[in-house]
Amino acid sequence: IPETILVSSDKTIPLLGFGTAEYPFGASSETMKDSILHAIKLGYRHFDTAALYQSEPLLGEAISDAIQLGLVKSRDELFITSKLWCSDAHHDCVLPALHKTLKNLKLDYLDLYLVHWPVSVKPGEYELPVKQKDLVPFDLKSVWEAMEECQKLGLTKSIGVSNFSIKKLENLLATAKIPPAVNQVEMNPLWQQKKLRDFCEKKGIHITVYSPLGAKGTLWGTNLVLDCKVLKEIADAKGKTIAQVCLRWAHEQEASVLVKSFNEERMKENLDIFEWKLSQDDLQKINQIPQRKGFPGLEFISDEGPYKSLEELWDEEI
């Protein structure tokens, strides 16, 4: 699996990763752990989790097993991302939250630690949807200072954000001493994020893609991506699947892609995206697909604020 350099930290990130989010969170732990182990066997090296997902301990167990089985020599061969949940998005909660995450994973460092959302809720539960009455103003500057401290302490090699708009990234860049290495966002042919991609490229912020297949099977996901006619025509003409076209498309946008499958055939299928290309004609057809965001984040909106509308959360990029 090819890798690219993260400008902010000078570390490399594998361009295809394996996601471990599922909803309801923590529903099928054995399957999750077995799938992660199988993914390592197949050659996946980049794994994405979050404090919210309840998959950190399973990922930790799978990593220990993989080392014991000799599938990888050491933890250093893996790239592990986790995320700070909104209830810990307060200056003094960040370091303890990272320590807890590392304990769950049985690791002494992360490769990448992300602010999960530009949202704070009162300290307490890790849950989605969040309780709207618990939403409080998000103090980007002080949360980011704590993230920088995590990197300086060597507890994570890189730091970044997730679900940030251009405007929120601009605010962050204005005060950050360590700029974000990554912005992890929803992206697929039905939500292409052209402006955000251009901005991030200019600023040296790497994009990691979640829901590249439209998050089928989650509470918010739909089959719209995997049922898209245009994508089916392109896939059929190439002898590829729609999923492979989606993953290849994201890859060609120079993003790293997180994909999740608990099915061994599909896990293998999803790796076959590096040795073929989409044509100019394919890309043009994909560019014309009507756009529709899959996960708007309505749960972070409240009449009392801090975000009173989706436009305030996404800064009109929706």
Binding footprint of ligand A2P on the chain (CB under 6 A): 19, 211-217, 226, 241, 243, 259-263, 266, 269-270
Of 207 and 213, CB closest to ligand A2P: 213
In angstroms, what is the C-alpha Rg of the chain? 19
Of 109 and 210, CB closest to ligand A2P: 210
DSSP letter, residue 130: P
CA dist 233 and 29 (Å) reads 36
Is residue 91 part of an annotated ligand binding site? no
Residue with tokens 């998005």: 89
Of 97 and 242, CB closest to ligand A2P: 242
Secondary element (H or E) of residue 92 = helix 91-105
Of 121 and 245, CB closest to ligand A2P: 245
Is 53 among the residues known to form the active site? yes
C-beta of 275: minimal distance to ligand A2P in Å?
16
CA dist 89 and 136 (Å) reads 10
The answer to whether residues 300 and 120 touch, using CB atoms and an 8 Å cutoff, is no
CA dist 83 and 97 (Å) reads 9
CA dist 221 and 293 (Å) reads 10
Identity of the residue numbered 95:
L
C-beta of 38: minimal distance to ligand A2P in Å?
12
Beta-carbon count within 10 A of 245 CB: 26
C-beta of 220: minimal distance to ligand A2P in Å?
10
Structure tokens at 236: 């059929």
C-beta of 265: minimal distance to ligand A2P in Å?
8
Of 180 and 294, CB closest to ligand A2P: 294
C-beta of 244: minimal distance to ligand A2P in Å?
7
Query: What Å distances lie between residue 116 and 17, 83, 89, 159, 268, CA to CA?
Result: 17, 5, 9, 11, 28
Binding site listing: 116
User: What residues are labeled active site?
Assistant: 53
Residue ranges at the known binding site for substrate:
116
